[in-house]
């Protein structure tokens, strides 16, 4: 079976690729586990070269239907759609966000539909679909009310995937990801970038600005749990999902201050002193519009993994700093 | 001030036109009431000729941006966006539904954005955005979960309009219309067409098929209340709406059997005997996925009109049959 990963050169795409190569199999549309013959990584930039013969890399604009027709073929059993313009950039560059976060998603769905064999499609959505006046713990069936163009584009794509699934064009699975922390690499244009930056930069001896108050509650997930989540989401049977193809992944609800305390426990006060607290009203408005906690009972019942604690997340990140870099990760974060 | 009505040759578009001509003014973006200088009706077919010099008619494809650039100009203060492919047809003709219900809506928003003066935009959405396992009375903040492509396209457009409003590109107002009953004219491809047909055809001495059980609860509104609702939605201040630009209009919740009983009270048993009860599983699946009742407290508090009773709705329809036809309505229903 062949697998396509959009955003395949990005951080989560590379992690997922490594996990799939190691795993070796995925559930085919028939329901049976089959060997992965090929993983095609599609991204604006070519993914790093790999010695693994199962890896193919295509550099191109995923909003260009001809690029998608090239990578989605009769052998494509599964698609992981991770490519996105992140929240901060989609807010600054409205048309770019619409083009990649909405139009490319639709073009991808159309490329799948045109093939006619109903590939399985896992979509990385986001808690940014929620917003406005939210309760402390957002119920699983809460209405979406995005307060950013990024969240709007994700919510629109969720609707499209549900309809394409209902009509039998794809077998879609929409996973609403918490904020991923700790991402390696450099800060990016995501409004949530600080949630990695306040851990990563101080550990690297660099200053990091925290744009929100220490009392701000965030809903986070480690890269490891996210990648495991993509695979769990792929492997679930249609029966287990039922008619609702959108799942809130079970994140960890922590206050920013608790993240910093955990960093201090792991690395000491000198490291923590590198954090500069400087509220940014623009970023804060977006970040605090997201849920600080979600009722993820359904996600847990479906078997999605959850992180044990913020200490475990930070500990796992620190461990990667000491480990030799593998060929596949960590790379730069997605734009 | 200039007004644009998409779907302006359709039944509700023509009724709205007549109401606006009679009213003569609308609130301008400044908030002050201003005289309506021009109403441009855009539709696939030309609207019937009007002797009123304020009426302009443009026949064209509203998914074609050049058509929209022609009608949305620097003087366009208000847009009523009513054009749509109805539910049954959008389910049969997926690409056509996407093109008119989503792409044309987006092109319209882009045409408004390009002008840069933030016109007021009233959008006719639908309770078809709801679906699945719904409580007897759907709360105002329930999550959308469309079970049709029409509902999906309406829900996506709602999200777009909210984001375009948040960004200051338009001043959007999204009105979720109940099923309109009684529409004049002929049956159309809307799954809800029966809700008018079982009243209209028997009154015309013709047989009408009711595809759902008499116990099915429907959420309906008269054409008069819908047209008044468009104007109320337009006139509301941004402050009254707050950050939530989507309003569930206050419909009437009735069982199909109650509609038929009211028809019998108004027109006798011979008329009612023209109804043939013949369940259609395909139509029934779509119709029963819609809410039979909604909590419309917010809509009522905002001043949207509601119908008094099903008897009043049927009585008003019968009165139109006796009245001389005006120049502007009733016309054929929108496709």
Residue B325 has what pLDDT? 54
Contact A155 B159 (CB under 8 A): yes
Cα of B174 to nearest chain A Cα, Å: 14
Query: Cβ A142–B145 below 8 Å, yes or no?
Result: no
- Measured between CA atoms, the residue of chain B closest to residue A98 is B160
Calpha distance A306→A297 (Å, rounded) = 11
Complex ipTM: 0.94
Q: How far apart are alpha carbons A185 and A134 in whole angstroms? A: 32
d(CA B96, CA B102): 10
Instruction: Answer whether A143 sits within 8 Å of B144, measured CB to CB.
Output: yes
Q: What pLDDT band is residue B129 in, cutting at 50, 70 and 90? A: very high
The whole-angstrom separation of Cα B50 and Cα B58 is: 13
B256 in contact with A at a CB cutoff of 8 Å? no
Catalytic, A150? Answer yes
Q: Which pLDDT value is given to residue A329?
A: 44
Flag if A152 and B162 touch (Cβ within 8 Å).
yes
Q: Which of B6, B301, B3, B262 has its CA nearest to residue B140?
A: B301
Which spans in chain B are helix H? 11-23, 65-71, 87-92, 94-97, 104-115, 149-166, 194-203, 223-235, 238-241, 256-267, 269-272, 281-287, 297-301, 310-322
Question: What is the count of residue pairs from A and B with beta carbons less than 8 Å apart?
Answer: 50
Q: Is the pLDDT reported for residue B93 higher than 60?
A: yes
Structure tokens at A305: 């993994």
Q: What is the pLDDT of residues B201-243, one digit of tens each?
A: 999 999 999 999 999 999 999 999 999 999 999 999 999 998 8
Band (pLDDT 50/70/90 cuts) for residue B324 is low
- B185: part of which helix (H) or strand (E)? none
Bridge partner list, A253: A219
Distance between CA A273 and CA B243 in Å, rounded?
Answer: 39
Give ∠ CA A194-A196-A197 in degrees, rounded to 5.
Answer: 55
CA distance B244 to chain A (A): 8
- Identify the DSSP state of B288: T
The partner residues of A29 in beta bridges, in order of sequence, read: none
Helix (H) or strand (E) holding A123: strand A120-126
Phi then psi for residue A78, to 5 deg, are -145, 140
Query: If you average pLDDT over every residue of chain A, what do you get?
Result: 93
Q: Which of residues 177-206 of A touch B (CB under 8 A)?
A: none
Are B296 and B251 within 8 A, CB to CB? yes
**A140 touches B at CB < 8 Å:** no
Q: Chain B partners of A162 at a C-beta cutoff of 8 Å?
A: 145-146, 152
Nearest CA in chain B to A242: B132
The pLDDT assigned to A335 comes to 31
How many helices (H) and strands (E) would you count in chain B? 14, 14
Position A325 scores a pLDDT of 54
Q: What is the mean pLDDT of residues A115-129?
A: 96
Mean pLDDT to the nearest integer, B60-83: 95
How far off is chain A from B272, nearest CA to CA, in Å? 37
Tell whether the model's pLDDT for residue B331 goes beyond 90. Answer: no
Confidence (pLDDT) at A331: 39
pLDDT at B133: 86
Cα B165 from Cα A147, distance rounded (Å): 11
The answer to whether residue B335 scores a pLDDT higher than 70 is no
Known catalytic residues of B?
Answer: 150
CB contact under 8 A, A141 and B146: no
Across the interface, of B94, B141, B156, the residue whose CB is closest to A159 is B156
Q: What is the mean pLDDT of residues A81-88?
A: 94
Q: State the pLDDT confidence band at B334, using cuts at 50, 70 and 90.
A: very low
Judged by a CB distance cut-off of 8 A, whether residue B141 touches chain A is yes
Please answer yes or no on whether B160 and A152 come within 8 Å at the CB atom: yes
Question: Which of B143, B156, B162 shows the shortest C-beta gap to A141?
Answer: B143
Sign of CA dihedral A109, A115, A118, A124: negative
Can you give the length of chain B in residues? 335
Asked if the C-beta of A162 comes within 8 angstroms of chain B's C-beta atoms, the answer is yes
CB-based contacts of A133, cutoff 8 Å, min separation 6: none
Cβ contact (<8 Å) for A162 and B141? Answer: no
Q: What is the dihedral of CA A273, A279, A280, A282, to 10 degrees?
A: 140
Q: Are the C-beta atoms of B210 and B276 separated by less than 8 Å?
A: yes
B333 has a pLDDT exceeding 60: no
For B185, left (φ over 0), alpha (ψ -120 to 50), or beta?
left
Facing residues of B40 across strands? B4, B56
Q: In CATH, which superfamily holds the domain spanning A2-322?
A: NAD(P)-binding Rossmann-like Domain (3.40.50.720)
Cβ-proximal residues to A299 (8 Å cutoff; 6+ apart), any chain: A247, A248, A249, A250
Q: Alpha-carbon distance B254 to B314, whole Å?
A: 13
Residue pair B263/B271 in contact (Cβ under 8 Å)? The answer is: yes
Which pLDDT band, with edges at 50, 70 and 90, does A328 fall under?
very low
> Residue B333 and residue B75: Cα distance in Å, rounded?
29
Interatomic CA distance for residues A274 and A260, integer angstroms: 11
pLDDT digits (tens, 9 = 90+) for B140-188: 999 999 999 999 999 999 999 999 999 999 999 999 999 999 999 998 8
The domains of chain B are located at 2-322
CA distance A298 to A325: 36
Is the minimum CB–CB distance between A152 and chain B shorter than 8 Å?
Answer: yes
Burial (CB count within 10 angstroms: exposed 0-12, middle 13-18, buried 19+), residue B32: exposed
**pLDDT at residue A198 above 60?**
yes
- pLDDT (tens digit per residue) in A208-225: 999 999 999 999 999 999
Cβ atoms within 10 Å of A2's Cβ, excluding its own: 20
- Report pLDDT digits (tens) over A285-326: 889 989 999 999 999 999 999 999 999 999 999 999 987 554
The 10s digit of each residue's pLDDT in B269-300 is 999 999 999 999 989 988 998 999 999 999 99
Q: Which tens digits make up the pLDDT trace of A229-276?
A: 999 999 999 999 988 999 999 999 999 999 999 999 999 999 999 999
Q: Out of A143, A147, A152, name the one closest to residue B143 (CB).
A: A143
Chain position carrying tokens 């998409």? B6
Note whether A243 contacts B: Cβ–Cβ < 8 A. yes
At residue B88, φ and ψ (nearest 5 deg) are: -65, -40
Q: Which two tokens stand for residue A194?
A: 């600080």
Among A143, A149, A158, A285, most B C-beta atoms within 10 A, so best to mutate, is A143
Q: Which residue has the higher pLDDT, B187 or A30?
A: B187
Residues of B in contact with A163 (CB under 8 A): 146, 149, 152
Closest residue in B to A130 (Cα–Cα): B143
Give the tens place of pLDDT for each residue, B9-44.
999 999 999 999 999 999 987 789 999 999 999 999
Which residues in chain A touch residue B146, judged by CB atoms under 8 angstroms apart?
Answer: 159, 162-163
Mean per-residue pLDDT over chain B, rounded = 93
């Amino acid at each position: 079976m062949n697998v396509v990963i959009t955003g395949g050169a990005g951080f989560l795409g590379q992690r997922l690729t490594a996990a799939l190569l190691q795993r070796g199999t995925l559930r085919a549309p028939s329901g049976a586990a089959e060997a992965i013959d090929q993983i095609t990584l599609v991204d604006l930039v070519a993914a790093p070269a790999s010695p693994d013969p199962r890896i193919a890399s295509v550099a191109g604009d995923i909003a260009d239907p001809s690029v998608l027709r090239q990578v989605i073929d009769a052998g494509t059993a599964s698609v992981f759609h991770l490519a996105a313009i992140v929240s901060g950039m989609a807010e600054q560059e409205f048309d770019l966000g619409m083009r990649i976060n909405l139009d490319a998603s639709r073009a991808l769905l159309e490329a799948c539909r045109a093939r006619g064999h109903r590939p399985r499609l896992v979509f990385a959505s986001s808690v940014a679909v929620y917003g406005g006046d939210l309760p402390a713990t957002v119920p699983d069936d809460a209405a979406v009310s995005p307060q950013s163009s990024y969240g709007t584009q994700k919510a629109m794509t969720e609707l499209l995937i549900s309809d394409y699934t209902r009509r039998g064009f794809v077998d879609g699975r929409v996973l609403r990801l918490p904020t991923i922390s700790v991402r390696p690499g450099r800060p990016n244009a995501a409004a949530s970038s600080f949630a990695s930056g306040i851990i990563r930069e101080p550990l690297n001896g660099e200053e990091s600005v925290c744009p929100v108050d220490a009392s701000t509650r965030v809903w986070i997930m480690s890269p490891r749990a996210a990648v495991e989540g993509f695979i769990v989401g792929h492997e679930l049977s249609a029966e287990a999902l039922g008619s609702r193809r959108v799942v809130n992944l079970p994140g960890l609800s922590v206050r920013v201050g608790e993240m910093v305390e955990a960093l201090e426990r792991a690395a000491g006060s000198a490291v923590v002193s590198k954090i500069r607290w400087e509220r940014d009203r623009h970023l804060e408005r977006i970040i605090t519009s997201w849920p600080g906690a979600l009722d993820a009972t359904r996600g847990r019942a479906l078997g999605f993994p959850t992180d044990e604690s913020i200490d475990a997340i930070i500990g796992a990140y620190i461990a990667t700093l000491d480990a030799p870099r593998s060929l596949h990760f960590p790379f730069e974060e997605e734009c």
